[in-house]
Chain A
Amino acid sequence: MGWIEENMKSTHFRQILSQAISLGMVISSALIIWKGLIYITGSESPVVVVLSGSMEPGFKRGDILFLYMNKDPIRAGQIVVFNDGRDVPIVHRVIEVHEQRDSKEADILTKGDANPHDDRMLYTSSNRWLQRKYIMGRAVGFLPYVGWLTIIMTDKPIIKYILLGALGLLVITSKE
């Protein structure tokens, strides 16, 4: 562990400043990429992790989904992510659509593929239908297993702190 002591000794002001700047660059480029994704996909959260098994065997817990949202109307069969004021958004399939002729507002009903019943019981504040405004995006693509890291970090926050601490240490002590 000699290299940590070496770093502590050479405390030139410029060196510290340049390390702080490189840390700042890493953080801001991550932020730019994230915000850019939000803009391109038109969805507030362009990537979500599947948390429950209600869409098995298609989506398992730990898969990540890529979302996209545009002004196209919601139609039956689309897999949507909705949040009607709950803690965690839900990824389910649309099974019923009733779209009004004049206002183009639609009543939407969803159901998880693996669930025996539709989602009516789940909707908050005794809504019988969902509206478009609750829908954050449609799932257009997916990657298996990659989301497990997020699930582990949420279930055991200590791991998140350990990871962040190790990352910070790595950036500060790198000589580049």
Chain B
Amino acid sequence: MHSFGYRLNGLLTFAVTILALMCVIASLSDNLNIPSPSAEIQIMNINWFQKQPKGSDEVILRMNISADLQSLFTWNTKQVFIFVAAEYETRKNSLNQVSLWDAIIPAKERAKFWIRSSNKYRFVDHGKNLRGKEFNLTLHWHVMPKTGKMFADKIVMSGYSLPEEYI
């Protein structure tokens, strides 16, 4: 029981077990953090609202997004992925979610910010239902850890609406 092979095997098994245990504990420590994020989105302007030649409505809008997400970061956080989605319902669909803009926050210092941007991704409906449509803007975040369980949540901001007629 004293050969090199046995000792190496024992050492490696122990090392891997301890490493796995450390990853689990690191992940569990994330539960101790109680986040208190805040965000605000204003629609500065609707630049484009037309129906596409072959069918569906499309919107281009410019937003002012400000948020303080610093409380989401723990020592086990690698990055926080955030995105803004427009959510609305139509006659045919009980829920539509369209992602308009996203960003990656790599560190706590960058988590308090404001940015003005038009939508990164096309806001296209599944039809022609957007005239006069009321919709929510939700800021979703996804906390990606260095190791372990990922957390996701969102803030829903309601009360936005599109013009009654195409621009």
Contacts and interface: CB of A to CB of B under 8 A. Distances in A.
Contact of A57 (B85, B97, B106): B106
Interface in A51-108: 57-59, 75-79, 93, 95-101, 104, 107
Interface in B15-35: 23, 27
Contact of A77 (B27, B79, B104, B140): B140
The DSSP consensus for interface residues of chain B is strand
A77 B142 CA distance: 8
Interface residues of B, number: 33
B152 interface: yes
A113 B92 contact: no
Interface stretch (A4-12, A21-29, A136-144): A136-144
Interface in A118-143: 118, 139-143
A77 B155 CA distance: 13
B156 interface: no
A96 B23 CA distance: 33
Interface stretch (B63-71, B143-151, B159-167): B143-151
Of the four ranges (under 10, 10 to 19, 20 to 34, 35 or more), the interface on chain A belongs to 20 to 34
Given A76-B97, A79-B142, A100-B92, A113 B81 contact: yes
Interface string B40-82: 0000000000000000000000000000000000000011010
Interface of B: 23, 27, 78-79, 81, 83, 85, 89, 91-99, 102, 104, 106, 121, 126, 140, 142, 144-150, 152, 154
